Amino acid sequence: MQQPQIVEIRDVSFGYDAARPVLRDIDLEIPRGAVVGIMGQSGCGKTTLLRMIMGALRPAAGTLRVLGRDTAGLGREALYAMRREMGMLFQFGALFTDLSVFENVAFPLREQHGELPGELLHDLVMLKLEAVGLRGAAQLMPAELSGGMARRVALARSIALDPRLILYDEPFTGLDPISFGVISRLIRNLNDSLGATSIIVTHDVQEALGVVDYVYFMAAGRIIAQGAPDEIRRSREPFVNQFVNGQRDGPVPFHYAAPSYAADLELAAT
Amino acid sequence: MNGAELRARIERLGGAVTSHVWRLGFATRFLGYLVLHSGTALRRFRLTVKEVYFAGVLSLVIILVSGLFVGMVLALQGYETLQRFGASESLGVLVALSLVRELGPVVAGLLFASRAGSAITAEIGLMKATEQLSAMEMMAVDPIARVVAPRFWGGVISMPLLAALFSAMGIFGGYLVGVQLIGVDAGAFWSQMQAAVDLQHDILNGVIKSVAFGIAVTWIAVFEGYDAAPTAEGVSRATTRTVVLSSLAILALDFVLTALMFTGGKGG
């Protein structure tokens, strides 16, 4: 039986101005329950695509349906209603620096449900913090946390409202190997235990391939390859091959475009 | 200069003017949106009270100390001039009117812009740079209603209170120097002040000025923070712009308000 699609993108194009398209003819489907990676070099358009799925940007052409809604026609209230069913982990956590860990996780609960009874709020926050292993850090301030811990607190905050769709923007950037292992396992476990769907936008390809069910590979605003992690590892597409194996030269050259080296050193005349 | 250069210069000038007018329009729309979405700040008033603490209470030391010294200097300078005309007993009037009408709102406004305005801009700008505002948007929480509006109202409430405290402290400073140090008669100091300072014409107009300065400074501060480029340099530039624009706005508004309030009528 075919799974319902949580995100459906058809022929979507987008550019901040008409002369420089950022996304071109994107077709993409994300089924319920999957952990899907959107990978590619910095500047390939993957974060723009994520911002579109969040509803922060509207496509210039094509249709984009998220959680059953066409995002093009959504007003502010409808957009906020959609976002209440979504969670987002930002690249560096984006924790509120003036609030403790407890208050950070409590923030979405307070804002969406008003003043909850103290005991209920406490239990809900502790439940989320326990899920990321940081119940003991509830009273710390964000400045007292390591990068990996801050990311885990942000993850607890992003699942506070039990979202149906969780978005991750470069979740592995700047993490040590232990924190990386913790975050990648949490992404997988939380997705499965909450019955959610997850989208990971990343260029940390080796790490992400160990977590995701399916991968879309982007380059220059287009999807150039897609498939299960093993298919991506075996891909013969030159760009994917260079990217996955971290090769110095290939379709993405080592040297930035420049005039000839000899001419630059003024060797040609001698 | 040939025709092409002249044309390029005119185009640059036109571009700069258009950009400033556009930004002013954006700032005005921002203020309108902020006022319309102030429900959260007023319903959950503790959010605004917290900002009154940050903008107002934490500015108390600089306001009170500055007020004291300004009042003391006013008394020294005023006595020096008044005694030439045998009117040294009017020292209290001079100190009180100078402070209540002008120096209280203006100097307190300038200090408020430097201390609280810059802090508000830096805080909102850094929240933007570290994606805290985007995170709120993603939690379906409007950052203008939740972050900006409480800071705006906190500043607007704090400013008249700080100006009043500045004036009160200045009058006390004037009393210390005029009465305690120089020896002006205390009865004359206070009674002439009481007789000459009018509640509506002097004090109320001073309060109106401080409210106007509070709105201007806090509006500039929250707008500059919200509109700051999300980088360290962007936040630094925005903070500087807040202090410069707020100071100019206070001085320009002061001229306009003084012209409207104190010319052509009683005591003008």
Quick check: B141 and A108 CB within 8 A?
yes
Note the pLDDT of residue B267.
44
ipTM > 0.90, yes or no: no
Q: Which residue is listed with tokens 């290939």? A: A250
Q: How many domains is chain B built from?
A: 1
pLDDT at A268: 61
Smallest Cβ distance to A94: which of B131, B141, B146? B131
Distance in angstroms (rounded) separating the CA atoms of residues B3 and B21: 27
In one-letter notation, the amino acid at residue A108 is: P
- Give the best residue of B124, B138, B141, B235 to mutate against chain A (max A CB count within 10 A): B138
Name the stretches of chain A with pLDDT < 70. 1-4, 253-254, 268-270
Contact at 8 Å (CB) between A229 and A215? yes
Do A97 and B130 make contact, defined as CB atoms within 8 angstroms? yes
Enclosing H/E stretch for A14: strand A5-17
Q: Are B193 and B96 in contact (CB under 8 A)?
A: yes
Q: Please give the angle made by the CA atoms of A166, B145 and B234, to the nearest 5 degrees.
A: 80
Residue B169: inside a domain: yes
Average pLDDT over residues B59-84: 94
Q: Which of chain B's residues have a Cβ under 8 Å away from the Cβ of A94?
A: 130-132, 134-135
Amino acid code (one letter) for B182: I
**Looking at the partner chain, which of B127, B131, B140 has a beta carbon nearest the beta carbon of A83?**
B140
Cα distance between residue A255 and residue A252, in whole Å: 9
Whether residue B231 has pLDDT greater than 70: yes
Backbone angles phi, psi at A25, to 5 degrees: 50, 55
Contact A251, A257 (CB under 8 A): no
Segment B164-218, tens digit of pLDDT: 999 999 999 999 999 999 999 999 999 999 999 988 888 999 999 999 999 999 9
pTM: 0.85
Cβ atoms of B267 and B201 closer than 8 Å: yes
Residue B265 has pLDDT above 70, yes or no: no
From chain B residues 146-205, the ones with a CB under 8 A of any chain A CB are 146
* Contact: A88, B140; criterion CB under 8 Å: no
CA distance B163 to B176: 20
- Specify if B187 maps to a domain: yes
Output the DSSP codes for B64-81: HHHHHHHHHHHHHHHHHH
> How far is the C-alpha of A214 from the C-alpha of A6, rounded, in Å?
14
Residue B268 and residue B265: Cα distance in Å, rounded? Answer: 5
Q: Strands of A61-66's sheet, edge to edge?
A: A20-31, A5-17, A61-66, A69-70
Amino acid letter at A197? Answer: T
CA separation (Å) from A126 to A203, A219, B43? 32, 41, 28
All structural domains of chain A with their residue ranges = 5-235
Nearest CB among B130, B141, B146 relative to A94 is that of B130
| A90/B146 CB distance under 8 A | no
Q: What is the pLDDT of residue A73?
A: 81
Q: Quick one: pLDDT at residue A2? A: 53
Beta-bridge partners for A218:
A40, A223
Residue B12, in any domain of the structure: no
What is the number of H-type helices and E-type strands within chain A?
10, 10
pLDDT at site A47: 85
Compute how many other C-beta atoms are within 10 angstroms of the C-beta atom of residue B18: 10
What was the pLDDT predicted at B235? 95
Cβ contacts below 8 Å, chain A against chain B, sum to 43
Give the pLDDT confidence score for residue B79 in this predicted structure: 93
Of the candidates A84, A91, A97, the beta carbon closest to that of B140 is on: A84
Alpha-carbon distance of A86 to A197, in angstroms, equals: 10
From A220, A200, A230, select the one nearest A41 (Cα to Cα): A220
B131 and A96 within 8 Å at the Cβ level: the answer is: no
Percent of chain B's residues with pLDDT above 70: 98
Q: Which domain holds residue B237?
A: 37-262
| Arithmetic mean of pLDDT, B222-249 | 95
Q: What are the residue ranges of helices labelled H in chain A?
A: 46-54, 76-83, 101-113, 118-131, 147-158, 177-194, 205-209, 229-233, 238-245, 261-264
CATH of A5-235, one of 3.30.300.30, 3.40.640.10, 1.10.150.120, 3.40.50.300: 3.40.50.300
On the question of pLDDT at B249 being above 90, the answer is yes
Which residue intervals of B145-204 are DSSP H helices? Answer: 149-175, 186-196
Tokens 């999957």: give the residue. Answer: A34
**How do residues B157-175 score in pLDDT, each as one tens digit?**
999 999 999 999 999 999 9
| C-alpha atoms less than 13 angstroms from C-alpha of B23 in its C-beta half-sphere | 12
Which of B130, B139, B144 has the most A C-beta neighbours within 10 Å, making it the best mutation to test the interface with A? B139
